[in-house]
Amino acid sequence: MRDNRWNDDDADRFAAAEGTSVADRALGHRVYSSRLIGSDPDLVMHGGGNTSVKVIRPTLQGEDKRVLHIKGSGWDLDTIEGPGLPGVWLDPLLALRPLDALSDEQMVDAQRAALLQSSSPNPSVETLLHAFLPHSFVDHTHATAFLALANLPHATDIVAELFGGRLAVVPYIMPGFALAKKAAEVFEADPEVEGLVLLNHGHFTFGDTAKQSYDRVIDHTNRVEQWLADRAGGRTFDTTVHTVRAPLDPGRASGVLPALRGVLGAIRSAHHDADMPMPVFDVRGGPAIERFLARGDLDSLSRRGVGSPDHVIRTKAFPLHLSRAQIDAGADAIRAAVDAWADAYKAYFASHNERVGGIKTMLEPIPGLAWIEGVGLVGIGKDSASAAAAADIGEQTVEVVTLGEAAGGFRPIGEADTFDMEYWSLEQAKLAKSTPKAFAGKIVLVTGGGGAIGLATAKAFAALGASVAVADLSTDALDKAGEALCGKALTVQADITAAGAGAAVIDAVCARFGGIDIVVSNAGAAMQGMLMDLDDETLRKSFELNFFSHLALAKAAAATMRAQGRGGQLLFNVSKQAVNPGTGFGAYGLPKAATFFLVRQLALELGGEGIRVNGVNADRIRSGLLTDDFIEKRAEARGVSAADYMAGNLLRAEVEATHVAEAFVALARADRTTAHVMTVDGGNIEAALR
């Protein structure tokens, strides 16, 4: 059930932040209640809702005119601010209503022409619907409960049973001018109603104040939730509590997901006639998902449709369903199932594209969502953010379908309407605006990710769009790394020298993102002592950490890359000690020299499979051994300042962790480079490789 979280003091603070005028304070209340709505994913999911307020503002000539502030494109309700609710002059929009028809492009032009500020984002595609309703505050949500209700076969009768005359019902029409006119007509036929149910779509409330409209959102939604719970054995839901970002069976997932990712990547590349990144996955498990995937009617449900028309942009028209028998049969069976899905999608596209005159261009024929028995629900996207959005919608859809089936049947819009929404030019324009970053779609693991070099490297790849995982022995270092990466990275605590640790880390990355593309094998430590005095145990420990752990990780990563069938990259932090030994550092230099050779050997063995292997030789970086105390002592022993000691190279400039990170990124970009070790030391001629 939804909690009503309205607080007058908080509302007043938001109002004061926008200004002192009546219009500004109303906008502040609009921002506040929008955030309350947006912070509950069971009310709105990934842009699936919008809010508005009508106020009076002066023109440049000082004449008071009506203004509609409405959610703008690119803003999310949970973080929205005043600029995210651009103002449009209301009267020009109302003047459109008598028209018999208005194309989407004409509607967008008219809305932009009415903007108070030309630099504002595009107003919502449902601006006219908000404009044609007379109320000061209007809220549109896609609450899970209302999606279940709105997709029932007898939804109109149930709305009457639940709400009497408090809500009116609007038949399904795609968003735009026609829907705005129809909704206004339905309201005007019964102007005492306090909200609208849009069949197969969502829920509107309105009021004289932000609080009144928000109160109605919560009250209406809770009434429907209770009605559904009574028919679903008391089933309640809260995706913020029940979401489990882990597969149901990690062992099964590590065998299935890389193979699936490779097949989907091949289809992407074939569709674009170019080498495209494989998609990124977001895997969800937990009791609710497990119960859903155990249903006996998944084949039928998987072809039924989407919970809300908006969802098709993220998830495609229908999910990929992989049964236990298919995944247990191995890679060939998975490939056959994906090919069958792609063929069905192509047929769906061809049929409906012919219906609309053959004017559309087919999107990638890969699913945005997969139901994998024994593994979980998998969001599929071009990067981790889009995969997570698809998975979130997938979780909501599980609730909508489950509750709908229990309450009379899940009956969403048909294929034709789904196609029209999926290929709606206004929605496609939203997706086209985003330009992918250089490493979008790439999954990167950095070991020793809590240290200076590891964290700098993880940040560098993340900034370029990669989905990043960091592994480290220290939980404290991992916590700091996770915070530094804004909570978006996977953190894996592991003793990389332990038996099976390399495979376990790779499996954890696959369970989170679906596979692996780039491994930065960076974990290490500089053990000191003269070899003649060093005990064998210390030397063996150094080899375990600085050589054997790298080899074990490389083996596990290469196995996953082979399963994907799309190549990959192994990058090693080697160290200048491999070629320029230092007194007292034999225990460190010997295994690093072996790792240096490992780069060349693995490049030789894996090159034919498209797996590139390179390394970085860095020197004198403030990390690990080179603490401030160590630097001061070394500098004092040489009779120089700490700054001069750190800049003791040909360039006379200190080398920082970010410079090493840039080298790893450069090697990752170098598509035709393998068996190469790049030196990053500011110029140490004794350590030059050639």
Which residues have a catalytic role annotated? Answer: 588
> Which amino acid type is present at position 608?
G
- Other residues' Cβ atoms within 10 Å of the Cβ of residue 653: 12
> Which amino acid type is present at position 223?
R
Q: Residue 352 phi/psi, 5° resolution?
A: -80, -25
Q: Are strands 202-207 and 137-141 parallel, antiparallel or unpaired?
A: antiparallel
Nearest Cα residue to 689 out of 602, 554, 522, 575: 575
Cα 14-18-23 angle, rounded to 5 deg: 110
Nearest Cα residue to 32 out of 210, 195, 206: 210
Task: Look at residue 297 and give its three-state secondary structure.
Answer: coil
Return d(Cα 634, Cα 637) in angstroms, integer. Answer: 5
* Whether 205 contacts 194, CB under 8 Å: yes
Q: Which residues contact 336 (CB under 8 A, 6 or more apart)?
A: 326
Chain Cα centroid distance, residue 250: 21
Q: Where are the beta strands (DSSP E) in 224-348?
A: 280-284, 320-322
Question: Quick one: tokens of 559?
Answer: 């196995």
Cα 239-167-236 angle, rounded to 5 deg: 25
Q: Are strands 50-58 and 64-70 parallel, antiparallel or unpaired?
A: antiparallel
The one-character DSSP state at 285 is: B
The dihedral through the CA atoms of 43, 49, 54, 58 has a sign that is positive
Return d(Cα 249, Cα 560) in angstroms, integer. Answer: 17
> Which amino acid type is present at position 409?
G
Q: Are strands 280-284 and 167-170 parallel, antiparallel or unpaired?
A: unpaired
Return d(Cα 507, Cα 37) in angstroms, integer. Answer: 37
Integer distance in angstroms from the first to the last C-alpha of the chain? 69
The dihedral through the CA atoms of 204, 205, 209, 210 has a sign that is negative
Nearest Cα residue to 455 out of 467, 463, 446, 466: 446
- Residue 312 gets the label, from left (phi > 0), alpha (psi -120 to 50) or beta, of alpha
